[in-house]
Structure 1
Amino acid sequence: MELIGAQVAAPSQEALESPFPRLFDGMDLIALGAALPTPFHAYSANTIRQRISGLQAALDGLNAAICFAVKANPSLAILQIMAQSGLGADIVSSGELRRSLKAGIPANRIVFSGVGKTEAEMGEAIDVGVGRFNVESSEELEALQRAARTREAIVRASVRINPDVDAGTHDKISTGKSDNKFGVSITEARRWFAAVSCKENVRLDGLHVHIGSQILELEPFRQALHHVSVFWRELVLAGHSINSIDVGGGLGVVYRGARDKPVNVGDYVHTIREALTGFEGRIVLEPGRYLVAEAGILLTRVIRTKQGATRNFLIVDAAMNDLLRPSLYDAWHDIELIDEESDRNDLRPGTVYDIVGPVCETSDTFAIGRQLPQCRAGDLLAIRCTGAYGASMSSTYNSRPLAAEVLVDDGSYAVIRRRQSFDEMIAGEQAATLWRTA
């Protein structure tokens, strides 16, 4: 079923960035909130297209491929936008492989990353013709050789190096320091290339680096790319062919409007150009958050307010199972009241709230000490910048069905994942009636 409409003009930037927005990709949020039960995730198709085209324009003249990091938002409709825009996919599981293929992304534009690929997953990827594997340990390299030899196939692989660079981001999304689980040292990678002739079915001809996510400064990228550049040149002098350099992702976005200052995408690409001057192979980028985060909002309604002993609580119908980032990372998301008279919210007195969900965990908290216009039951709130790692990290904790997802495109919307029913939530469960012994 076709879920994505034709490319059209985006709404004005003023409409997207208004402090109390009513329009979201041409759609009135009050009307959208009335049409569908909250909570639900909504994505702006045009915002995603703008991000893609902006990055493609910055890369003009480079032999470069953009492979969307599927983990950020694996919705089939979102992946269809990526496919229609000519992007590939960066995957970390067979499930993400199948989603990418189903959405129309060709297998040869898929890169298989991740530290825990099983041999069965590698075999499945080889069978469909995945373009490249990013390998992160010597045991994984051996497993890839076995899987390829069994199928009498030749596969292309890149070694993920760990440059021991601090990305200056949250510890839980840092991936390029020596104590992180990702990649191998340059010393170990050097040994792999020295023994490359022993891998008859694996063509080790690429390098990969990814130092973390939500990076808001250029310097960590410069440092990581410097390590990659020096190693690439060393390998070429030693007679090795390097046909692919994967620079990862990590570009930050605006979660906190008054504070976050993302890296300019043109400056980022210029940094890549400088570091890899003279490289004649394919440069691969793996953006995820950067392409989709700011395109998403989580719409939720106020259930009630509660006056505690020392704090005002605003209890909403969304919860940590719908958006885990604040609970998991202490992450900030801008939160705004969407009022019938959005330009007159100053008529409501400002009130400081702890904004919390109904899940039975103290960590089910979206914001602490946040000032909003005074709210009441039934008010509609937008939690902003939830297009990445929102729905993709959701769960059914407290037996709460998965929220719906909606794609908005120039004033129209399509439900791209309906709200999960109770029967769907328990579909895989059954009573203990069939007993076996091992």
Structure 2
Amino acid sequence: MSINFKELANKYGTPYYVYDFDYITNQYNELKTAFKARKSLIAYAVKANSNLSVIKHLANLGAGADCVSIGEVKRALKVGIEPYKIIFSGVGKTDDEIRQALEFGILMINVESAAELDRVEVIAKELGKVARISIRINPNIDPKTHPYISTGLHENKFGVDIDTAKRMYIQCKNSDNLEPTGIHCHIGSQLTQLQPIKESVQIIADLVRNLAAIKIELSFIDIGGGLGIIYDDEKLIDTNEYAQTVLETMFGLDITVVCEPGKFIVGNSGTFITKVLYEKVNGEKRFVIVDGAMNDLIRPSLYNAYHKSEVLNDNKEFSACNLVGPVCESGDFFAKNVQLPKTQHNDLVAIYSAGAYGFSMSSNYNTRGRVAEIAVENGEDRLIRKRETFEDLITLEEEFIK
């Protein structure tokens, strides 16, 4: 679907994020259909884009939620995702978060260490509840992606090794307050090769079989997320081939597959639109300065991530430049040495593939209000988050001024 970025800029101002909800629908349905041969749950990774309207849209399609804070769990519940479709992951859950998750009755807590399992058991006993447990396995497999978004190697902080996991499952089996329910593995984000996924799923499927031999029967096998999207010219994993490969490793297992896509569903749905303020030249270096900044979209600054950028004008006079924002940091850039046309004040710049880890990682650095978010569905646009005002930013502080 074509989105009129200029019309939206006139209506809502800049900078803004806009999301194509029809694209989100198609991505969800594509993945759900790929796993139709088996019981499955598509648990949307809320961290990718936690706007309530985005989560609600996916809830309406039948999605569950993969959450990494109790705040994300509450977002999922608020828009109507049933507790039995919610998974709570993350390496550092507080006692209060564990307590609330148990009281909400979510599907399972995804445990990432033996110490965490001990805390869950203690808290479940205090509450007189049985905690449904999934254990995250770290298979020590290189996902062939950026090191900052790699999660499946022993050098990463996530999950436990196979031997530790076996001991933890036995602890669950022998506990009155723990129920071994699932197994989980997620080796990283922006995955574009199938082999590492196949190897990791094979490892956890084999563990499921070994556990069954000692009478520990699991109901869910969570293969994580991480399927890549197009930022530049990536060759992506075919969704049907992905599902078929995963299902082949589970031959003979009566178990529900859980998948946790985030970026795959929303990444290419989103565009960040910013406005040119000025051009300047330092020596021979050209800079295009826009009203958006690293606090709005931090991925380029954080790990030099590439986002295709396009000036929305008809100028054919291109030259190399740095596309930068107003924040007082040298790391405040969207692109370096990128070929862009000559710009004028108020020209719009579209930064693509910004639907995941864009707004959700934004901040108020330099006392900058976070930007507006807009949904477009069936050709109609609507505001799904207002632009923050200065008053919004100070509301939790001003009563304490002396």
Deviations 1:210-234 (A, max 9, x none): 0010111101101111211221111
Give the corresponding residue for 2:187. Answer: 211
Q: Aligned letter for 1:425?
A: L
Identity rate of aligned residues, in percent? 39
Residue 39 of structure 1 contacts residue 301 of structure 1 at CA under 8 Å; is this kept in 2?
A: yes
Give the corresponding residue for 1:122. Answer: 98
**Structure 2 Cα separation of the partners of residues 199 and 119 of structure 1:** 19
Matched, 1:166 2:142: yes
Matched, 1:92 2:68: yes
Q: Aligned letter for 2:140?
A: D
Give the corresponding residue for 1:110. Answer: 86
Deviations 1:147-198 (A, max 9, x none): 2222221221111110001111111111100011100000101112233344
**Structure 1 Cα separation of the partners of residues 401 and 327 of structure 2:** 31
Give the corresponding residue for 2:384. Answer: 416
Give the corresponding residue for 1:327. Answer: 301
Q: Aligned letter for 2:110?
A: N
1:285 to 254, 259, 262: 259
Give the corresponding residue for 2:108. Answer: 132
The 5 Å alignment of 1:24-173 reads 24=3, 28-173=4-149
Question: 1:358 is paired with a residue of what secondary structure?
Answer: coil
Residue 72 of structure 1 contacts residue 289 of structure 1 at CA under 8 Å; is this kept in 2?
A: yes
Q: Aligned letter for 1:54?
A: E
TM-score, normalised relative to structure 2: 0.97
Residue 173 of structure 1 contacts residue 213 of structure 1 at CA under 8 Å; is this kept in 2?
A: yes
**Structure 1 Cα separation of the partners of residues 166 and 172 of structure 2:** 10
Residue 68 of structure 1 contacts residue 286 of structure 1 at CA under 8 Å; is this kept in 2?
A: yes
How many residue pairs match? The answer is 402
Matched, 1:371 2:344: no
Residue 294 of structure 1 contacts residue 385 of structure 1 at CA under 8 Å; is this kept in 2?
A: yes
**Structure 1 Cα separation of the partners of residues 173 and 71 of structure 2:** 32
Q: Structure 2 regions of 5+ residues with no counterpart?
A: none
**Structure 1 Cα separation of the partners of residues 47 and 286 of structure 2:** 36
**Structure 2 Cα separation of the partners of residues 200 and 46 of structure 1:** 46
TM-score, normalised relative to structure 1: 0.90
Q: Aligned letter for 1:354?
A: N
**Structure 2 Cα separation of the partners of residues 299 and 98 of structure 1:** 29
Give the corresponding residue for 1:426. Answer: 394
Residue 184 of structure 2 contacts residue 222 of structure 2 at CA under 8 Å; is this kept in 1?
A: yes
Question: 1:268 is paired with a residue of what secondary structure?
Answer: helix
Deviations 1:43-81 (A, max 9, x none): 001010010111111111211101000000000000011
Deviation for aligned residue 1:127: 1.1
Residue 173 of structure 2 contacts residue 216 of structure 2 at CA under 8 Å; is this kept in 1?
A: no
Q: Aligned letter for 1:139?
A: A
Give the corresponding residue for 1:246. Answer: 222
**Structure 1 Cα separation of the partners of residues 379 and 187 of structure 2:** 38
1:309 to 283, 303, 307: 283
The 5 Å alignment of 1:343-422 reads 345=314, 348-422=316-390
Q: Aligned letter for 2:329?
A: E
Give the corresponding residue for 1:267. Answer: 241
Q: Structure 1 regions of 5+ residues with no counterpart?
A: 1-10, 12-22, 340-344
1:180 to 144, 152, 156: 156
Deviations 1:296-342 (A, max 9, x none): 00000100111111211000110000000000010000001223xxx
Deviation for aligned residue 1:94: 1.1
Deviation for aligned residue 1:430: 3.4
Residue 133 of structure 2 contacts residue 182 of structure 2 at CA under 8 Å; is this kept in 1?
A: yes
Q: Aligned letter for 2:252?
A: G
Q: Aligned letter for 2:289?
A: I
Note the aligned Cα RMSD (angstroms): 1.3
Deviation for aligned residue 1:432: 5.5
Residue 94 of structure 1 contacts residue 125 of structure 1 at CA under 8 Å; is this kept in 2?
A: yes
Q: Aligned letter for 1:365?
A: F
Residue 335 of structure 1 contacts residue 382 of structure 1 at CA under 8 Å; is this kept in 2?
A: yes
Residue 123 of structure 1 contacts residue 147 of structure 1 at CA under 8 Å; is this kept in 2?
A: yes
The 5 Å alignment of 1:187-206 reads 187-206=163-182
Q: CA separation of 1:55/1:198 partners in 2, compared to 1, >3 Å: closer, same or farther?
A: same
Give the corresponding residue for 2:311. Answer: 337
**Structure 2 Cα separation of the partners of residues 194 and 402 of structure 1:** 47
Residue 205 of structure 1 contacts residue 240 of structure 1 at CA under 8 Å; is this kept in 2?
A: no
Q: Mean Cα displacement is larger for which, 61-70 or 186-195? A: 186-195
Deviation for aligned residue 1:119: 1.5
Q: Aligned letter for 1:334?
A: K
Q: CA separation of 1:196/1:29 partners in 2, compared to 1, >3 Å: closer, same or farther?
A: closer
Q: Aligned letter for 1:64?
A: S
Question: 1:321 is paired with a residue of what secondary structure?
Answer: coil
**Structure 1 Cα separation of the partners of residues 281 and 109 of structure 2:** 54
**Structure 2 Cα separation of the partners of residues 290 and 197 of structure 1:** 35
